[in-house]
Structure 1
Amino acid sequence: MNSGSKADIRNIAHAVEASAVMKLFPRRPRLLALGEPAHGEDSLLGLRNVLFRQLVEREGYRTIAIESDCMRGLVVDDYVASGTGTLDDVMEHGFSHEWFNKSVANRELVYWMRAFNENRPAPDRVRFAGFDGPLEMTGAASPRQALTALHNYLAAEVEADLLPCTADTLDRLLGADDRWTHPAAMMEPAESVGQSREAGQLRLYADDLVALLDARAPHLVAATSPGDLDRARLYGRTALGLLRYHHWMADSSPARMTWLVALRDRIMADNLLALAERGPTLVHAHNAHLQRNKSTMRMWQGPVEWWSAGALASTRLGGEYAFLAMALGTIRYQGVDTPPPDTVEGLLYALQRDHCLIESSQLAAALSCPGPAPRVSPWFGYSPLDPAHLADSDAIVFIKDVP
């Protein structure tokens, strides 16, 4: 049986706490990415919440970014930063996936962030961000919201003759939003409007609007608030990202799905890099979006491979990007039972700790050759660790049992 010494592994296992995480790095990472191997498990989000509070209170982190729609995330950020809206409305409209807006742990996170910010000066407030695009596996949003918001921002601040088009022109080219969100388009490229003449013209206008935003940056910095300019840049990234995504939804070549999954993570990476400029940020998403090695997925037409948002951000930030991969012992109600003892999860399960943090390089050194076997999950919703890529993470966060 491939295994390491349980005593050796126990000696390098620590509590999942901010102080233990920070000791892993020579300096505080600008992006500290905490992965999860399964969506929709509130116990995992509860651990994330505790870690974020500690990072805020002890380590100076001020932003959390999660795998949710970046445009909807503005609703949550407005609430936690200034109390705009109600908690119920924010939970209904501020998250893009069903398991997010119905999550008790996410509700507790938003509630805590709002309470933390009460009577606190603006520079010291905690902030919320979604860093995913307005995308689902079944389709993509209309670019209307992002594109018109960018146009409105620029129209209020620059000379009218510099704008590449009018708001009426954008509205005419966009047409009805259900043209963009047609559910059949994910499976049938011919049902997508992404390569229509109107979509091509919108992509040119979006590119010109983003170029104008950059060209007028000195004036815009002086004339508007940093927050308004940050949002305008988000609108520009989102509009262009959606128009690229719709373009490839209309493509019928074998590269179509590879382009789509890669573009989604490109949107994520661009948003993360923008957040890194704001200050230290805790990032939470599926391991597949945060890992440094190539991500893979089996789709209806076969397997696809792409570089994740984490891989792209790590390439840009180097040591200022950190990745904590999460692994689980059991999710018994989904048929994920006690892991085999010759897997990484099995070795960590044998420690009998509810959760622990282990530096990846130390864990790899403690494992005997030829190394642990890969774990196979009977449930598609859980992605086990790949022991061949232990070194691509900075540490492993292990959760023994999911209730």
Structure 2
Amino acid sequence: MTVGVARLTAAAEDEVTALARPLATTDDLDPVVDRLATARFACLGEASHGTHEFYGWRAELTRRLVEEQGYAWIGVEGDWPDCWRIHRWVTGQDDQDRAAAGVLAEFDRWPEWMWANHEVASFLDWLRGWNLERAPERRVGFYGLDVYSLWDSLRRIRGWLRTHAPDALADAERAWQCFLPFHEDPHRYAWGTRLVPASCEDDVVRLLATVRARTHGLREESAFDALQNALVAAQAERYYRTMVRADGASWNIRDRHMTDTADRLAARHGPGSRGILWAHNTHVGDARATDMARAGMVNVGQLLRERYGDDAVGLVGMAAHRGHVLAASAWGAPERSFALPVARAGSHEDLLHRVLRRPSALVFGPDRSGPWLGVRAGHRAVGVVYDPARESGNYVPTVMGARYDAQLWFEETGPVRPLHHEPPPSGPELETEPSGF
């Protein structure tokens, strides 16, 4: 990526120097906390799903937002049923004889290390301790925003209907039977709908209507969980049916679903509630400031800004110059630590390295038109599948000042520490997450 190389000049270096503050202790997050003090949504990004510093500093920033600014819920790039178990645990409702590591051990969809790691476990242990010192209505929730859990969500719906509305169970069973021939393999379902003009769409839409009717007016957590699982099932069916087209449509389904889930969480926690979102930079940083926009793709950061206004949404990105990252060589493969090469010449990371040389926090002011913030250049994004030999494909053309409101910078990083290792794949696994970069 060479876009903007010639324009990242001495004036850009001066702008970076003026914006940056050293980042050594949690007190150094003060400017970022101040920027997020009036936001309704604080979206905290990461340049990879496998970097210790990104996870650790995101947790520290989240702690401060909860303790000092009264943020009431956390939504993460994870599956709803898995994160619901965590929510129940951190709010003191279920599995209270277990530590966070034990609850996280139940994550069994690849890539497990993304959430089942020591960095997340440490944060969740803190969050549960914070919550148990407060009244139940003041406890901070922890939720999954993602759309992948089709079969797990159907199981949750069947269980709820069996207990609370057994006369409506037939709609859930009909949907379950429709998906049964695909053996919980989204690729079989996706390709099946491509080859034969038939799908389970009508069944999950009917099931969603049933669950909406049966949960209407109910405030119980179990009813909220059931409705969200019905929404996940409907969107997951649509997502998997669309992903085989290999265009941006499935990406947009996913990010719209995550944003809609954030809307529902905000509404459930009350009109004045404030939420923190954890996701990759490609979801957090406004897509309109990247080449994603030309491909017709949207993301969470963009959609929240459009729905609530720029002042109500704080977008924080993260970046690094070099180090190591936990990832896999192929979709479904065991994780390992990869060396992260030094940043490419002419990229945003290259400029930040040349100027800063140490971890730093940069908060952007109202004028984003300067020689660094207003210039388009490459910005590195590493996915859960990584090949350092193809590093040039990992740079997203980005106008930094339009994409984020702040940036946390790290010179050298290490991998996250998984709680356990991924098993070798038992059969062929195909990628279910479309690339946004």
TM-score past 0.5 threshold = yes
Residues 94 and 335 (structure 1 numbering): CA distance in 2 closer, same or farther, change over 3 Å? closer
Correspondence for 1:240 among 234, 237, 247? 234
Determine helix, strand or coil for the equivalent of 2:75.
Answer: strand
Match of 2:141 in 1: 127
- Paired with 2:308 and 2:132, the residues of 1 have a C-alpha distance of 33
CA deviation after TM superposition for structure 1 residue 389, in Å: 5.0
Cα distance between partner residues in 1 of 2:18 and 2:197 = 57
Structure 1 residues 57, 376: closer, same or farther in 2, change over 3 A?
closer
On the 8 A contact 2:43/2:313 being kept in 1, the answer is: yes
- Counterpart in the other structure of 2:105: 92
* Aligned-partner Cα distance in 1 for 2:252–2:314: 21
For 2:17, the equivalent position in structure 1 comes to 10
- Greater CA deviation, 351-360 or 70-79? 351-360
- Alignment equivalent of 2:348, drawn from 336, 341, 344: 344
What residue number does 1:367 align with?
Answer: 372
1:53 aligns with 2:63: yes
Find the aligned partners of 1:380 and 1:62 in 2 and give their Cα distance.
Answer: 41
Q: In terms of mean alpha carbon deviation, does 15-24 or 392-401 score higher?
A: 15-24
Once residues 308 and 194 of structure 1 are traced to their aligned partners in structure 2, the CA distance between those partners, rounded to angstroms, is 31
Alignment of 1:137-152 (within 5 A): 141=151, 144-149=154-159, 151-152=161-162
Distance 1:105 1:208, change over 3 A: same
> Are 2:118 and 1:104 aligned?
yes
Check the 8 A contact 2:255/2:299 in 1, yes or no.
Answer: yes
2:307 to 316, 319, 322: 316
Using the alignment, how far apart are the partners of 1:363 and 1:145 within structure 2? 48
Structure-2 change in CA distance of 1:347 and 1:171 (3 Å): closer
* Displacement of 1:367: 3.3
Larger RCO (CA under 8 A, 6+ residues apart): 2
Letter in 2 for 1:321: V
Residue in structure 2 matched with residue 264 of structure 1 by the alignment: 254
Q: Which deviations, in whole Å up to 9, do the C-alpha atoms of 1:249-271 show, x marking residues without a partner?
A: 5x7xxx55433222122221111
Q: Matched residue of 2:94: which SS?
A: coil
- 8 Å CA contact 1:313, 1:321 repeated in 2: yes
Q: CA deviation at 1:155?
A: 0.9
Paired residue type of 1:322: G
Cα 1:245–1:368 shift into 2, 3 Å: closer
**SS of 1:306's equivalent?**
coil
**1:116 CA drift (Å):** 1.6
Q: CA deviation at 1:361?
A: 5.2
Question: 1: distance between equivalents of 2:106 and 2:137?
Answer: 26
Aligned partner of 1:402 in structure 2 is 413
Task: For 1:2-401, list aligned pairs within 5 A.
Answer: 2-3=8-9, 4=11, 6-14=13-21, 17=28, 19-24=30-35, 28-82=38-92, 84-85=94-95, 86-87=98-99, 88-94=101-107, 96=109, 97-134=111-148, 141=151, 144-149=154-159, 151-152=161-162, 155=165, 160=167, 163=168, 165=170, 168-175=173-180, 178-181=182-185, 183-185=187-189, 189-190=191-192, 196=198, 199-213=200-214, 216-217=216-217, 220-221=218-219, 225=220, 227-248=221-242, 255=245, 257-277=247-267, 278=269, 279-294=273-288, 305-318=296-309, 319-331=311-323, 334-340=339-345, 342-349=346-353, 350-359=355-364, 364-365=369-370, 367=372, 371=375, 373-374=377-378, 383-384=394-395, 386-388=397-399, 390-401=401-412
CA drift at 1:321 = 2.1
Mark the CA change 1:71 to 1:15 in structure 2 (over 3 Å): closer, same or farther.
farther
Q: Does the residue aligned with 1:120 lie in a helix, a strand or coil?
A: coil
Please give the secondary structure, in 2, of the residue aligned with 1:400. strand
SS at match of 1:356: strand
C-alpha distance in 2 between matches for 1:274 and 1:18? 29
Q: Contact 2:319–2:349 (CA<8 Å) still a contact in 1?
A: yes
Q: Is the 8 A contact 2:154 2:172 kept in 1?
A: no
Gaps of 5+ in 2: 1-5, 325-337, 382-387, 415-437
* Aligned CA distance change for structure 1 residues 153 and 388 (closer, same or farther; 3 Å): farther
Q: How far apart are the structure 1 equivalents of 2:233 and 2:317?
A: 31
SS of the residue corresponding to residue 123 of structure 1 reads: helix
TM-score norm. by structure 2 comes to 0.73
Contact 2:73 2:274 in 1 (8 A): yes
CA distance in 1, matches of 2:39, 2:286: 15
Contact 2:284 2:300 in 1 (8 A): yes
Aligned positions, number: 371
Q: Give the partner amino acid of 2:286.
A: R
- Alignment deviations for residues 245-291 of structure 1 (CA, whole Å, 9 cap, x no partner): 24335x7xxx5543322212222111121222322121111111122
Secondary structure of the 1:401 match is: strand
Q: Contact 1:343–1:373 (CA<8 Å) still a contact in 2?
A: yes
Contact 2:373-2:402 at 8 Å conserved across structures: no
The code of the aligned residue for 1:202 comes to D
- 8 Å CA contact 1:328, 1:401 repeated in 2: yes
SS of equivalent to 1:36? coil
How far apart are the structure 1 equivalents of 2:12 and 2:72? 39
Deviation of 1:208 after TM superposition, in Å, equals 2.0
Q: CA deviation at 1:304?
A: 5.9
Counterpart amino acid of residue 357 in structure 2: Q
- Deviation of 1:14 after TM superposition, in Å, equals 2.9
Structure 1 pair 390–92 and aligned structure 2 pair: CA distance change class (3 A): same
- Please give the per-residue CA displacement for 1:88-131, whole angstroms capped at 9, x wherever unaligned: 33111247532224421011111111222234211222221121
- Separation in 1 of the partners of 2:179 and 2:187? 17
Per the alignment, residue 300 of structure 1 pairs with: none
In 1, Cα distance between the equivalents of 2:136 and 2:251? 36
Query: After the TM superposition, which parts of structure 1 deviate over 6 Å for at least 4 consecutive aligned residues?
Result: 191-194
Asked if the contact 2:201–2:234 (Cα under 8 Å) also holds between the matched residues in 1, the reply is: no
CA separation in 2, counterparts of 1:185 and 1:202?
Answer: 14
The 2-side partners of 1:95 and 1:310 are apart by 28
User: Aligned with 1:24: secondary structure?
Assistant: helix
Does the aligned pair in 2 maintain the 1:31–1:283 contact within 8 Å? Answer: yes
- CA-atom RMSD, angstroms? 3.4
Letter in structure 2 aligned against 1:10: T
Offset at residue 35 of structure 1 (A):
1.1
The answer for unaligned runs of 5 or more in structure 1 is: 298-302
Query: Quick one: distance in 2 between partners of 1:320 and 1:51?
Result: 18
